[in-house]
Amino acid sequence: MGFLRQATRHLFFTGKGGVGKTSLSTAAALALADSGQSVLLVSTDAASNLDEMLGIELRNTPTPVPGAHGLFVLNIDPDNAAESYRQRVLAQMAAGAASEAELSTVREQLSGACTTEIASFDEFASLLSDGAADFDHIVFDTAPTGHTLRLLSLPKAWSGFLDGNDRGASCLGPHSGLKMQETRFKAALEALSDPTRTTVVLVTRPDKGAIAEAARTSEELHALGLDNQRLAINGVFRASDATDAVACAIEALGRQALVEMPASLRALPQDSVPLRAFDMVGLPALRALLGDADAPSPPVEPVASETTASLQGLDALADELATADRGLIMVMGKGGVGKTTVAAALALGLLQRGKTVHLSTTDPAAHLSATLEGEVEGLRVDRIDPKAETQRYVDKIMAARSPGLDAQEQALLLEDLQSPCTEEVAVFHAFSRIVSEARSAFVVLDTAPTGHSLLLMDATGAYHRQMVREFEGHGNARVVTPLMRLQDAAYTRIILVTLPEVTPVSQAAALQDDLRRAGIEPYAWVLNKSVLAAGTRDPLLAARLAGERKQMERMSTGLARRIFTLPWLTRPPIGFAELSKLVSEGSSTPAAAT
């Protein structure tokens, strides 16, 4: 692979959720370690599945990988990073003779959700600037694109915010305390922008949506000064039997997507990785992933197709949801499992059944418009735009507080509100507004990939605890927080989307556990891209079918209360017509081949 032949010290793997960033980044780190290099593999994704792939417990300190000499793994854990950050800021203040009252104020400032995100970024910046000096290479397995772009933009944002600013306080504590980070942030920005030190590997699949996102990401990275980019096309499939209609259709879809690739991506150096029959779990599989692309797939005995008579499709789920008159439908899951497709289809299904529907998304990557391909009469569609919400929040705070402040104090308040962490607070307020709308209509929410959704849930929980404390001792006063609405099974239905593979099912199960700890019970699971109904004879797809059977059994024996299935479609579920087919009454389960 080209990204290995002349590997820079820093390798970033980024792309749309589900394209295989973790698999490729881990395989690359393993290959470098096998060649005699000392390598640190870093996960910046709160929902990383590196532990399952490598069979080790992830920690926030470099951990050696058994069986892979020279390879160490580090997970940037948001909670640990936030606590470490708090202690460091408070210790420096105490050393500067800060009073107990001042320390107490800063502790409160550092309790917000934005501190968690920026503290994670602080550890990331450390690795780019003055940390991990003992390693030849640092390979970053990043969160899905939207959040990675925010992470990579933060060195520039914070460097600009801190430049010449040593007054006031933000949600990260006093600006004078933040000055200690300024040198690190600028060093991180320099490392990211240096093509001799940093390479960004844009990972995609031969899929129209994934390629479009890779192109957008490439442009935004260029705007940030990250110009040393490569394109890795993962999961390239070639049919082995020209008479197998399903396999040939899947190959044709991928080939067409690559033919239509934007010129900006086509100009980048490229690597191609074939679709493999095996799950990316364990060192042998990871070492085989980057093997010879022309090597034949392992022989697999053909597997007979399953009957689909007992499988329920999205139409059945839409029927169940439509028995209510209103409510919040939150579609959640790992990046790339098809959340946006499921959310859009369910919104159309409810609309077809005579309901008033608002379809929105919390995902910065915002794929809804591309999935719907145009406006739908009667369906309100929008997204939580971080920039717009931040401006709305800043305007609101300024309007509320400015009347009691002089001109200098107003300028200082506005300066404080320009900090990057303000965006996290603003997004949470927008999320709360959308949740409350479900009191009178259906709201279908396409959430960000798991890791960031969990951070949003953390913010929801923190707000709930704050409101409960404030209303204590107020007699009959009653507060209804967003968390309470999410916990109300009559108000909120959580739909978990997964793929029929080991890792996505494990991550959906872990997400379900996290939700249950917050008192939120998922309503149903949707198994996307099922090959049970395909009827294919292709040996590679047949091997995936055998793996799917195992995951279906795993889901049905304790994980999911309800399971609905969306087949592996040979026509992309994009646009009103194709999405509507998935939820038309009586359509369960739609044929995979058309």
Please give the positions annotated as active site.
18, 20-23, 45, 503
Instruction: Report the alpha-carbon distance of residue 442 to residue 396 in Å, rounded.
Output: 27
Instruction: Report the alpha-carbon distance of residue 436 to residue 481 in Å, rounded.
Output: 9
Q: To which H or E segment does residue 336 belong?
A: none
In this structure, are residues 365 and 145 in contact, taking their beta carbons and an 8 Å threshold?
yes
Degrees, nearest 5: CA angle 569-584-487: 90
In this structure, are residues 62 and 72 in contact, taking their beta carbons and an 8 Å threshold?
yes
Please give the torsion angle defined by the CA atoms of residues 172, 178, 184 and 190, in that order, rounded to the nearest 10 degrees: 80
Instruction: Report the alpha-carbon distance of residue 156 to residue 160 in Å, rounded.
Output: 6
Helix, strand, coil tally for the chain in percent (to 5): 50, 15, 35
**How many CB atoms are closer than 10 A to CB 490?**
7
In this structure, are residues 13 and 140 in contact, taking their beta carbons and an 8 Å threshold?
yes
Nearest in space to 349 (alpha carbons), one of 375, 374, 376:
376
Q: Is 58 helix (H, G, I), strand (E, B) or coil?
A: coil
DSSP H helices in 224-282: 245-259, 263-266
Angle between helices 450-471 and 145-162 (to 10 degrees): 60
Nearest in space to 162 (alpha carbons), one of 172, 152, 151:
172
Instruction: Report the alpha-carbon distance of residue 236 to residue 254 in Å, rounded.
Output: 7
Nearest in space to 365 (alpha carbons), one of 390, 383, 377:
383
Query: How many Cα atoms occupy the beta-carbon half-sphere of 280 within 13 Å?
Result: 26
592 in the Ramachandran plot: left (φ > 0), alpha (ψ -120 to 50) or beta? Answer: alpha
Nearest in space to 565 (alpha carbons), one of 379, 294, 338, 326:
338
Strand partners, 442: 327, 357
Q: Is 530 helix (H, G, I), strand (E, B) or coil?
A: strand
